[in-house]
Amino acid sequence: MTDTTAPDSPRPDFPHATALGYPRIGRRRELKRALESYWAGTTTADDLERTSRELRLATVRRLVELGLDPGTGAVPNSFSRYDQVLDVTATLGAIPARFGHLAASSAAESVAGASTGDRAGLAPTGSATGISTEAYFALARGTADQPPLELTKWFDTNYHYLVPEIGPETPIGFADDRIVREFTEAARPSDGGTPVVTRPVVVGPVTYLLLSKPEDGAPEDFSPLSRLDDVVAAYRELLAALAAAGAPWVQLDEPALVSDLIGVPFDGPTGPGQDRNEPESAPRTVSDAVRRAYATLTAPEAGAGRPQILVAAPFGDLRRESGDRLELLAGTDVEAIALDLVRGTAPSSRPAVQDAADGGPGNAARGAGLAVPGLASKTLVAGVIDGHNIWRADLAARLDLLESLRGTGAGAIAVGTSTSLLHVPHDVADEPRLDPALAGWLAFADQKVGEVVTLARGLREGRAAVEPQLAEATAAVTGRADAAGVVVPAVRDRLARLSDGDFARAPYADRAAAQRTRLDLPPLPTTTIGSFPQTTEIRTTRAAWTRGDLTDADYEARIREEIARVVALQEELGLDVLVHGEPERNDMVQYFAERLAGFATTVHGWVQSYGSRCVRPPILWGDVSRPEPITVPWATYAASLTEKPVKGMLTGPVTILAWSFVRDDQPLADTANQVALALRDEVADLETAGIAIVQVDEAALRELLPLDAAAQPAYLDWSVRSFRLTTSGAAPSTQIHTHLCYSEFGDIVGAIDDLDADVTSVEAARSRMEIVPGLASAGYARGIGPGVWDIHSPRVPSDGQVSDLLKLAVAEIDPRLVWVNPDCGLKTRGYEETTASLTNLVAAAREVRASL
């Protein structure tokens, strides 16, 4: 690799190979157990710190074992006890005023006035400077009188971060040096193990503020971005402390640069440079904020006192038709930039790395001419290994891509992952139950680090040096393409024969009339979203059956018993449309994945969702079909117990895709339609069995919305079509419901209308029906069930509170369209609050009904 730094500079080059981050929950979810026992009070804060230190050291040493350089900052130091955004909040001491008492108590623990030098001089395991463990977790989990910081999705992943609350007066400084301590802990380990010079990974200052929300009570026009200078000043202190501790590199993650969903324009009407003329004003655009932040962080007087900076922009394409964001970063004085070369510009397009390999259009191909001003003095960390999905890469093709990048403009090329590996499980070797062929097609975090190391070696020493690894990877990719089940002609033929008629139902007016006759429901019909509380008994029963400790017959008898109980309860409560309660489902996606051909599930494939919560996404590897009916026996059993209509309950194709690892060898649209056809058969079988209402949940429709605005229309088109393909075979008299699980969909109201469901339920209790006027003014004129009970808390709403919400709804929208239901499913609730809340819900519906 060529030297990119000035000839007289003693500063070390960026390492040849790296990953942008690594899973932190532990191979056997050690962190989860440590956290949960600490929260339960059975272990202490010191125990938690000890376990997490062991985990951190084991992780950095594992990364060295896998081939990352131990001495140059190649190993990412990306641990977090809970969340990387919360870690910045803690580092800055940015504790919202509503947690004021915590600020006071944590200040007592900090070493007031400690200079940067003192901090850097901490002993290896350090005397803690900063906010207390108690305060940290109070922000994450709430206190007796304060709800926690809000959880929100991290870009287009299924990870959730804690939203900072920033106001004009929020304290912001360099308040906690944990990041420095965790660097030192690995570099000068107290356990006598191998020292590793890591690269601290920190959410960048611009992304941090763009993800923040104004603190409650902040002035109407306050923008967290106006605190940029304070935040950057604190980062400068952090960087100085890291430099003093010996860190050669630091990674600042700025994924906000690739997102059009953050509410701040990338470039303002006044164009670039505005802030240079108005240094006092707050930045109004992302590009202004980036220029300003990185000018300060790299200002010469800071030069000696900081590590070299890698800015990473994962999750998307920096080279947009709407503006070249790479040019913006290249114009700063940071030493290295990490590009995500895996993401195409639309989820429906093939991955850019493949397009580039085929010579097609893709960001990598467009990026091949990297004649971007400023880039010649920087290292480009080429993210060619997918950190977001689990497929083994075609290494020969990726090496071609890397070679094509060399000499096109960047000062040097290093090899990296496209994103942090946080979003994939640890190790394929931990999955003894996977079909060996399938296992051979997969790369989890450890395998991906190996891929990066191989590519870096190939790039440096020539292809011959890694020929066996390339050949093995090519064989795996070819083997996968040819394997039985990957392409199933019957599935392909059925897809090819689809015509527009397969995506459309009869006009709504005709359907509404037929459904009125068939269902004969009262105005403001009451129903639930599907699941009833999952008691310990139900979970134990399912687990025993999965283990083989319970016969199929016994299992079925117990589930039937539960369904009968739930149906009887709903009749007693007086609900109008009943459900079977979903006791047989572990998870709304996994349940279907386990019963459809084309999917596999893992044993240890856990991925952090938030805090200690992990999910095990199924792997969608082949063409999808339905070997036999999935939900029909349970739904028909429930229906046989009552005169009232029982809703059939399915998870929609987009949600199934969103919460699985999905094959990357064909457009997502095709995969979605395969799932849709399997579900369409299920809808037909439910109809044949006499079920009059079928609900198809699309909890993740908004979640998959591309970060790149230019890619959104194509996404909305295929996602809506897959829903319609699922449901449009239904007769006019069959009522199709959908449940969307969230209410922030101002930007996709049109798409929701295009789903053409007869009834749509959404979350609305917390926002006090805010969604309803928006829907009404957008012309939505089919059934709507805005949630009247916030099921996220055990609080029981009174009938007065429910009827107030209902009155808000019927004032805005034709009362004949309004349904009465909770915000979401009840599986996490207990029976006590469920019974009380549903009693009030039914009473409120009756009251408002009477007043119509």
Do residues 458 and 382 make contact, with C-beta atoms less than 8 angstroms apart? no
Contacts to Zn ion from residues 797-836, by CB under 5 A: 824
Nearer to Zn ion (CB atom), residue 434 or residue 824: 824
Spatial CA neighbour of 727 closest among 677, 691, 671: 677
What distance in Å separates the CA atoms of residue 395 and residue 457, rounded to the nearest whole number?
12
Sign of CA dihedral 671, 676, 682, 688: negative
By a kind-dependent CB cut-off of 5 to 8 A, residue 203 interacts, out of ligand GLN, Zn ion, none, with none
What distance in Å separates the CA atoms of residue 513 and residue 507, rounded to the nearest whole number?
10
Residue 335, annotated as binding a ligand: no
What distance in Å separates the CA atoms of residue 149 and residue 162, rounded to the nearest whole number?
6
Question: Which residue's CB comes closest to ligand GLN?
Answer: 825
Residue 109, annotated as binding a ligand: no
Which residues make Cβ contacts (< 8 Å) with residue 227, sequence separation at least 6?
166, 168, 170, 172, 209
Nearer to ligand GLN (CB atom), residue 439 or residue 569: 569
Spatial CA neighbour of 18 closest among 438, 314, 241, 441: 314
Could you tell me the smallest distance in angstroms from the CB atom of residue 651 to ligand GLN?
8
Note whether 827 binds ligand GLN by CB under 6 A: yes
Note whether 741 binds Zn ion by CB under 5 A: yes
Note whether 658 binds Zn ion by CB under 5 A: no
What distance in Å separates the CA atoms of residue 852 and residue 842, rounded to the nearest whole number?
16
Contacts to ligand GLN from residues 430-459, by CB under 6 A: none
Spatial CA neighbour of 838 closest among 805, 792, 785, 789: 789
Note whether 821 binds ligand GLN by CB under 6 A: no
Helix (H, G, I), strand (E, B) or coil at 370: coil
Residue 378, annotated as binding a ligand: no
By a kind-dependent CB cut-off of 5 to 8 A, residue 531 interacts, out of ligand GLN, Zn ion, none, with ligand GLN
At 762, which amino acid appears?
V
What distance in Å separates the CA atoms of residue 703 and residue 291, rounded to the nearest whole number?
30
Residue of 69, 394, 697, 833 interacting with ligand GLN (CB under 6 A): 697
Termini Cα distance of the chain: 76
Distances (CA, A) of 442 to 252, 389, 430, 437, 633: 29, 9, 12, 9, 35
Looking at 217-225, 287-295, 384-392, 523-531, which segment touches ligand GLN (CB under 6 A)? Answer: 523-531
Phi, psi of 762 (to 5 degrees): -135, 160
Residue 824, annotated as binding a ligand: yes
Do residues 201 and 189 make contact, with C-beta atoms less than 8 angstroms apart? no
Note whether 741 binds ligand GLN by CB under 6 A: yes
By a kind-dependent CB cut-off of 5 to 8 A, residue 354 interacts, out of ligand GLN, Zn ion, none, with none
By a kind-dependent CB cut-off of 5 to 8 A, residue 649 interacts, out of Zn ion, ligand GLN, none, with ligand GLN
At 492, which amino acid appears?
R
Could you tell me the smallest distance in angstroms from the CB atom of residue 697 to ligand GLN?
5
Of the candidates 101, 423, 426, 792, the residue annotated as catalytic is 792
What distance in Å separates the CA atoms of residue 281 and residue 198, rounded to the nearest whole number?
37
What would the two tokens of residue 768 be? 């006090």
What distance in Å separates the CA atoms of residue 494 and residue 624, rounded to the nearest whole number?
11
Could you tell me the smallest distance in angstroms from the CB atom of residue 609 to ligand GLN?
13
Note whether 390 binds Zn ion by CB under 5 A: no
What distance in Å separates the CA atoms of residue 791 and residue 308, rounded to the nearest whole number?
47
Residue 394, annotated as binding a ligand: no
For 850, counting Cβ atoms within 10 Å of its Cβ (0-12 exposed, 13-18 middle, 19+ buried), the class is exposed
What would the two tokens of residue 701 be? 């429709």
Nearer to Zn ion (CB atom), residue 434 or residue 769: 769
Beta 607-610 vs 613-615: how paired, if at all? Answer: antiparallel
What is the DSSP code (8-state) at residue 798? P
Spatial CA neighbour of 408 closest among 451, 465, 365, 453: 365
Nearer to ligand GLN (CB atom), residue 128 or residue 771: 771
Residue 497, annotated as binding a ligand: no
Residue of 4, 287, 531, 602 interacting with ligand GLN (CB under 6 A): 531
Could you tell me the smallest distance in angstroms from the CB atom of residue 157 to ligand GLN?
17
What is the DSSP code (8-state) at residue 272? T
Residue 798, annotated as binding a ligand: no
Could you tell me the smallest distance in angstroms from the CB atom of residue 760 to ligand GLN?
12
Sign of CA dihedral 578, 583, 588, 589: negative
Residue of 380, 438, 699, 720 interacting with ligand GLN (CB under 6 A): 699
Spatial CA neighbour of 93 closest among 215, 217, 177: 177
Looking at 173-181, 319-327, 330-338, 740-748, which segment touches Zn ion (CB under 5 A)? Answer: 740-748
Binding mask 646-675 for ligand GLN (x = CB under 6 A): ---x--------------------------
Entry field: residues in the chain: 852
Residue 739, annotated as binding a ligand: yes
Could you tell me the smallest distance in angstroms from the CB atom of residue 851 to ligand GLN?
29
Note whether 701 binds ligand GLN by CB under 6 A: no
Looking at 130-138, 265-273, 603-611, 734-742, which segment touches Zn ion (CB under 5 A)? Answer: 734-742
Could you tell me the smallest distance in angstroms from the CB atom of residue 580 to Zn ion?
17
Residue 630, annotated as binding a ligand: no
Spatial CA neighbour of 277 closest among 291, 260, 294: 291
Could you tell me the smallest distance in angstroms from the CB atom of residue 833 to ligand GLN?
16
Helix, strand and coil content of the chain, in percent to the nearest 5, comes to 45, 10, 45
Q: Binding-site residue total for Zn ion (CB under 5 A)? A: 2
By a kind-dependent CB cut-off of 5 to 8 A, residue 697 interacts, out of ligand GLN, Zn ion, none, with ligand GLN
Contacts made by residues 47-51, CB under 8 angstroms, sequence distance 24+ = 48/81, 48/133, 49/133
Spatial CA neighbour of 96 closest among 147, 59, 45, 36: 147
Could you tell me the smallest distance in angstroms from the CB atom of residue 582 to ligand GLN?
6
Residue 529, annotated as binding a ligand: yes
Do residues 735 and 785 make contact, with C-beta atoms less than 8 angstroms apart? no
Residue 220, annotated as binding a ligand: no
Note whether 825 binds ligand GLN by CB under 6 A: yes
Note whether 617 binds ligand GLN by CB under 6 A: no
Nearer to ligand GLN (CB atom), residue 59 or residue 761: 761
Residue of 314, 344, 530, 605 interacting with ligand GLN (CB under 6 A): 530
Residue 545, annotated as binding a ligand: no
Could you tell me the smallest distance in angstroms from the CB atom of residue 739 to ligand GLN?
5
Could you tell me the smallest distance in angstroms from the CB atom of residue 532 to ligand GLN?
8
Looking at 70-78, 323-331, 525-533, 682-690, which segment touches ligand GLN (CB under 6 A)? Answer: 525-533
792 an active-site residue?
yes
Q: Cα angle vertex 203, ends 182, 276, to 5°? A: 130
By a kind-dependent CB cut-off of 5 to 8 A, residue 588 interacts, out of Zn ion, ligand GLN, none, with ligand GLN
Nearer to Zn ion (CB atom), residue 670 or residue 770: 770
Q: Binding-site residue total for ligand GLN (CB under 6 A)? A: 13
Which residues make Cβ contacts (< 8 Å) with residue 83, sequence separation at least 6?
140, 160, 161, 162, 610, 611
Contacts to ligand GLN from residues 551-610, by CB under 6 A: 582, 588
Residue of 210, 443, 824, 844 interacting with ligand GLN (CB under 6 A): 824
Residue positions annotated with a catalytic role = 792
Binding site for Zn ion (CB under 5 A): 741, 824
Binding site for ligand GLN (CB under 6 A): 529-531, 582, 588, 649, 697, 699, 739, 741, 824-825, 827
- Residue positions forming the annotated binding site for Zn(2+): 739, 741, 763, 824
- Residue positions forming the annotated binding site for L-homocysteine: 529-531, 582, 697
